[in-house]
Amino acid sequence: MIGRFPILDISPVVEFGGEYVGAKAIINESLKISATIIREGHEGFSASVILLDPKGKEVSRDEMRENWPKSSRFEASIKPTSLGLFHYYIEVTANNPGEFSKRLVSHSEKFPIYVERERALVGSWYEFFPRSEGAIKNADGSIKSGTFATAAKRIPAVAEMGFDVLYLPPIHPIGYAHRKGKNNSLEALPSDPGVPWGIGNSDGGHDAVNPELGTMKDFEEFLKVAKKHKIEVALDLALQCSPDHPWVKTNPEWFTKRPDGSIAYAENPPKKYQDIYPINFDNDYPGLFAEIYRVVCFWIEKGISIFRVDNPHTKPVHFWQELIAKVNAKHPEVVFLSEAFTIPAMMHSLGKAGFQQSYTYFTWRTTKQELMDYGTEVAHHTSAFFRPNFWVNTPDILPFHLQSGNPAIFAMRAVLAATMSPSWGVYAGYELYEHVPIAEGKEEYRDSEKYEIKLRDWDGANKKGLTLAPFITLLNEIRRKNPALQRLRNIHFHNTDSDQILAYSKREGDNLILVVVNLDGLHARETMIHWDLWALGLEQDSFAVKDLLDGSEYAWAKDTYVKLDPARPNGKVAHIASVKIK
C-alpha cells in the first residue's frame, strides 16, 4: 500500500530471492538515494532521507531535492561512516491546507545498505605464481621451482609499482593423476609441475601448502613481508579437487559419479579439466559446507582477508550466499572476488549473494561505444549489487587486442582499467608486453604459466627500458592521490567527434579528473571534445588543467581540441588531467 503521499521507484533497492539485500557501499562513500514522489493537486511538500545505523539509531537526515522542475524525481546523498548493515527510508511531510490544518506525513519502507571496508571497492591488484618468482634454470636445462622465500623477494617490486593487493593462484599440493603437461598436454613429463588448480595429493588438500613452495611457516613469513610493504595477499579459493585429494577417499559422496561409478572430471565448455574433480553440493550439503567454512577460517586465521574465488558460477548460488554471510558475520573485513566470466544474470546474482567484487567483461570491451555502454552499466545500472574489478589480462585470457605486442595498446588498456574502475588488476608479464597466443584465433598464452614455471628477467627488462612498470607505477600513484578515481558511481562520458577518442570525467568533492584516451594505439588521432559543464560541476566555459601523466598544463574549454599520437617517440596514449577548481 502506498502512503498518504506516493513514494515510488526508490533507488538503490536490491531484491534477491524474494527479500531485500543490502545495497553495496563502503565507509565514507557518498550514496545517492532517489525516488519519484507525487502529491495530488498543486500543494508542495518536503522530503528527506533518514539513515539508520546497525542499531536502528538515526544518524543523518538529508533533504531531497527535485532533479528538475516537475520531474517528480527527488534525490539526496547519504554517507555511512562505519561498517555494518544500515537502513534508510524516505519521509515526506506537508501541511493540510484544509479547514482542519494538520501535518501530513508519509514514510517509505526501510531498505538495507551493507557498508564494508574500502578494499571491497578500491584496490590495485597484481597476480603472480610463487613458483615462477625466483625460479632458476639448472645446468642440465631443468627448472628449479621458486619458493615462498624467493617469491617474497619480488614483493618490494610489486609494492614499488603501487599495487596494494597481491593475488596468488592456489598454493596447495598439486595432484599427480591426469596431471597436465606443457600447453595443456594430456601427457605430463615427470618434470612438469602441474596446474595449481588441480588441488590435493598425499601431502594434503585445501588447508595445506605445496611442499615445493616451502612450509606453512615459510608462507607465514611471506605474509609478513607483504604486510611490511602494505600489501594484502589474496588467496585463491578453488572448490575442486585433483583425483589425489584427501577428500576423494574420505568423502567420495562430495563428488559427482558417472553411471559406471567413476567420478566425472570437470568441464567448463569448451574447456575440459581432466585433472580436476568438481564438487557435488547435493549429496551432503551440511558436511561439505562445514568443511569449506573450516578451510576458509583456517586461512583467515593465518592472515588472509581476501579470497579470489575460482569459477563460483559452477557452484550453487545459495551456497555462496550462506558462506559469505557466515564468514562476514564473524570477519566483516574479508572480501570475496568472483571469477565468473559467464552470463550477466549469474554474475549479477553472485554479487547480490554477497560477493564484494567481480571480474568483468572489460577485458573484451574495445570500441568507444562498447566502453561507454559498459562503463555506464557498471557505474550507474548495476553498482548497487555488482562491484567491478577491471583486469587487463589473466593467465587464462590473452585478449586479441594485446596479441600485437604494441606497447601503446598495453599502456592504453592500463589507463582505461585504472581510471574507469576503482579496482583493477594486472597478471605478471603484462608489463613485459607478453603477447604470444597458443594459436591463431585463440585467446590463450603460448607456454602458459598455468602448466609450467615461467622464467622472467625483470632486472634485464628494467635496465633495457623494455617494461611498462614505470607507467603502471605512475598510474597507481595517480589513483592513490585522487579520490575521484577511487569511486565507481561518478563516471560521466562526454561527446567527442572521433570514434577513436574516448573522454570521461570523475569528480569527488573538489577533486575533478578528466580522462581522454586514444583507442587506436597505432595512429595519431585528433578531435574536439564537448565537455558537459553541468556534469563537471563547473560554471565557467574555460578552465585550467594539469596532465598528471607528464605534468603538462593546458587551458581547456567547453569545446576542447586534443591530439594524441601513440606512435611518436615517447608517444602519448592519453591525458589524465586534474582540473584546477577555482
The question of whether 449 is a catalytic residue gets the answer no
- Cα–Cα distance for residue pair 454/442, rounded to 1 Å: 20
Query: Residues 29, 133, 164, 310: which is the catalytic one?
Result: 310
State the SS3 of 131-146. CCCCCEECCCCCEECC
List of residues 6+ apart from 251 with CB closer than 8 A? 284, 287, 288, 291
232-237: strand order across its sheet: 357-358, 335-339, 306-310, 232-237, 165-168, 123-127, 423-427, 390-391
- φ/ψ of residue 78, rounded to 5: -120, 160
- Cα–Cα distance for residue pair 15/103, rounded to 1 Å: 33
Q: Grid coordinates in use for 556?
A: 581547456
Query: Residues 29, 133, 164, 339: which is the catalytic one?
Result: 339
The question of whether 339 is a catalytic residue gets the answer yes
Contact call for residues 214 and 149 (beta carbons, < 8 A)? yes
477: helix, coil or strand?
helix
CB atoms within 10 A of CB 530: 14
Contact call for residues 338 and 347 (beta carbons, < 8 A)? yes
- φ/ψ of residue 434, rounded to 5: -60, 130
Helix (H) or strand (E) holding 113: strand 111-116
DSSP for 157-220, written as a single string: HHHHTT--EEEE---S-B--TT--BGGGBSS--TT----TTSB-BTTBSTTS--TTT--HHHHH
Q: Residues with catalytic annotation?
A: 310, 339
